[in-house]
């Protein structure tokens, strides 16, 4: 089945390039983690690249992203955080986006309006509501987009965020990345037909889309953002994707059916599908893609070099950033 390309050629190439950037960066991350260079956990985004890039492209520079789920790195890249900042943060180095205080689960970049992530899954949505409230009070037309996995939608805090967003009709776009698994727990066992149905009782706009199609995500999130910008209130989108990687590096995935997994890899790989789609329509050429890949590989290599060369934090830096001091009025009477 051939699918139309619904965006201009340049945008289409950027989508492909964006997805490849996530993929190549993460392949390198996996290698570096395997070599013991990266501490902590590493969760990869395989299968979510289209959802991330489509969402990122739909957002304006001044729209907030509060990251959720466990497929994080792709979202940081989609929000435009430079690769060296991300890689050095994974390494826990001074040159990282958060000076090594955050790590893989906590990349934030306030200048780019990346709020960061609540590593306690499902706690990022109420802050997103607060970000939207702040924008509204400051009389901007910026919106807050927040992602969550299928697993996270079972947390009460997610439902509370829907209540609060609906209460003031705030400009929030909830994107549920349903990859059918919360570690080993299948989303299938949850009762709604679509997880976006959770927005229905709040009279929100809801959409359930094929999230492995970057263009579908782009159009749907764009529409939701437009609606929110124009005072139309929140939207809940279910972006249906496949998790084509283990939950985290080291997960043996004994709970997955091998045939089904292979089928998903064949059918739901957003990069492979889009690449074919663009090739068929002569929007890119094989050599064009090879050039793209070569350029990204250079970027990623530079990011790794930057991370490796960035110093380890001095141990005393552990005490920085707990408080902004002096506290209000402190020391003024002495």
Partner 1 sequence: MTREITYVQAVAEAIDEELARDDDVILFGEDVEEFGGNFGETEGLYQKHGRDRVRNTPLSEIGIAGMALGAAVGGIRPVAELQFADFAATAGDEVFNQIPKQPYVSGGKLKAPLTIFAPSGAGIGAGAQHSQSVHSWLGNVPGWVVVTATTPYDAKGLFKSAIRDDNPVFFLPHKMLSETKGEVPEEEYTLALGEAAVEEEGDDVTVVATQLMFHRAREATADLDIDVEIINPRTFAPLDTETIAESVRKTGRLVVVDETVERYGTQGHIANEIVENDFFSLDAPPKTIGVKNVPIPLSPPLEQEVLPSADRIAAGIESLF
| Least distance (Å) between residue 243 CB and ligand TPP | 6
Tell me: does residue 154 bind partner 1 (CB under 8 A): no
Give the binding range for partner 1 (CB under 8 A) out of 68-76, 108-116, 181-189, 265-273: 108-116
* 28 Cβ contact list (under 8 Å, min separation 6): 300, 301, 303, 304
| Least distance (Å) between residue 322 CB and partner 1 | 5
User: Among partner 1, ligand TPP, none, what does residue 144 contact (CB within 5–8 Å per kind)?
Assistant: partner 1
- Of 15 and 115, nearer to partner 1 (C-beta) is 115
> What's 109's DSSP letter?
B
Q: Is the peptide bond before 25 cis (omega within 30 degrees of 0)?
A: no
x/- track of binding to ligand TPP for residues 210-249 (CB under 6 A): ---------------------------------x---x--
* Cα separations in angstroms, 5 against 153, 269, 274, 291: 32, 17, 9, 22
Give the binding range for partner 1 (CB under 8 A) out of 55-63, 114-122, 257-265, 271-279: 114-122
User: Among ligand TPP, partner 1, none, what does residue 181 contact (CB within 5–8 Å per kind)?
Assistant: ligand TPP
Tell me: does residue 121 bind ligand TPP (CB under 6 A): yes
Q: Contacting ligand TPP (CB under 6 A), which of 19, 57, 70, 128?
A: 70
- Written as six digits, the tokens of 219 are 């159009």
Q: Is the dihedral of CA 218, 220, 226, 228 positive or negative?
A: negative
How far apart are alpha carbons 193 and 180 in whole angstroms? Answer: 12
* Cα separations in angstroms, 212 against 80, 188, 226: 20, 18, 22
| Least distance (Å) between residue 181 CB and ligand TPP | 6
**What would you report as the CA-atom Rg of the chain, rounded to the nearest whole angstrom?**
20
Q: Contacting partner 1 (CB under 8 A), which of 34, 39, 62, 134?
A: 134
Tell me: does residue 147 bind ligand TPP (CB under 6 A): no
Residue written as tokens 């579908």?
Answer: 216
| Least distance (Å) between residue 78 CB and ligand TPP | 15
Q: Contacting ligand TPP (CB under 6 A), which of 18, 92, 100, 149?
A: 149
Residues facing residue 188 across a β-bridge: none
What 3-state DSSP class applies to 146?
strand
Tell me: does residue 69 bind ligand TPP (CB under 6 A): yes
- Written as six digits, the tokens of 254 are 């004994």
- Tell me the number of residues near partner 1 by CB under 8 A: 55
Tell me: does residue 164 bind partner 1 (CB under 8 A): yes
Tell me: does residue 331 bind partner 1 (CB under 8 A): yes
- Of 74 and 103, nearer to partner 1 (C-beta) is 103
Tell me: does residue 116 bind partner 1 (CB under 8 A): yes
Contact in structure between 188 and 180 (CB atoms under 8 Å): yes
- Of 188 and 316, nearer to ligand TPP (C-beta) is 188
Q: What DSSP letter does each residue of 183-238 carry, written as one string? A: TTEEGGGSSSSSGGGGGGGGT-EEEEEETT-HHHHHHHHHHHHHHHHTT---EEEE
Contact in structure between 39 and 315 (CB atoms under 8 Å): no
Give the binding range for ligand TPP (CB under 6 A) out of 15-23, 65-73, 206-214, 314-322: 65-73
Count other C-beta atoms under 10 Å from residue 119's C-beta.
Answer: 16
Question: Which positions lie near ligand TPP, rule CB under 6 A?
Answer: 69-71, 119-122, 149-152, 179, 181-183, 243, 247
């Amino acid at each position: 089945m051939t699918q139309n390309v619904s965006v201009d050629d340049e945008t289409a190439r950027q989508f492909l390039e964006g997805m490849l950037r996530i993929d190549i960066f993460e392949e390198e991350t996996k290698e570096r983690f395997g070599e013991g260079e990266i501490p902590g956990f590493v969760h990869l985004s395989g299968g979510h690249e289209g959802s991330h890039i489509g969402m990122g492209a739909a957002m304006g520079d001044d729209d907030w992203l509060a990251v959720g789920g466990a497929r994080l790195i792709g979202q940081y890249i989609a929000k435009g955080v430079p690769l060296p900042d991300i890689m050095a943060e994974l390494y826990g180095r001074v040159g990282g986006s958060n000076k090594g205080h955050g790590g893989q689960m906590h990349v934030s970049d306030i200048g780019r309006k990346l709020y960061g992530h609540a590593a306690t899954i499902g706690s990022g949505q109420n802050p997103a509501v607060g970000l939207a409230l702040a924008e509204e009070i400051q009389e901007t037309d910026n919106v807050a987009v927040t992602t969550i996995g299928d697993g996270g939608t079972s947390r009460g805090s997610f439902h509370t965020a829907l209540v609060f967003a609906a209460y003031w009709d705030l400009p929030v776009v909830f994107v549920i990345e349903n990859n059918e698994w919360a570690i080993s727990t299948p989303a299938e066992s949850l009762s709604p037909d679509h997880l976006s149905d959770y927005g229905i009782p709040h009279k929100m706009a809801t959409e359930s889309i094929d999230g492995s199609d970057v263009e579908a995500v782009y159009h749907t999130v764009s529409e939701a953002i437009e609606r929110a910008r124009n005072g139309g209130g929140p939207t809940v989108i279910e972006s249906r994707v496949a998790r084509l990687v283990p939950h985290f590096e080291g997960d043996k995935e004994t709970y997955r059916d091998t045939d089904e997994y292979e089928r998903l890899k064949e059918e739901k790989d957003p990069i492979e599908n889009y690449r074919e789609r663009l090739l068929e329509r002569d929007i890119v050429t094989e050599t064009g893609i090879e050039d793209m890949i070569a350029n990204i590989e250079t970027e990623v290599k530079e990011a790794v070099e930057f991370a490796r060369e960035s110093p380890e934090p001095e141990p005393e830096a552990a005490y920085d950033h707990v408080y902004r001091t002096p506290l209000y009025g402190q020391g003024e009477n002495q």
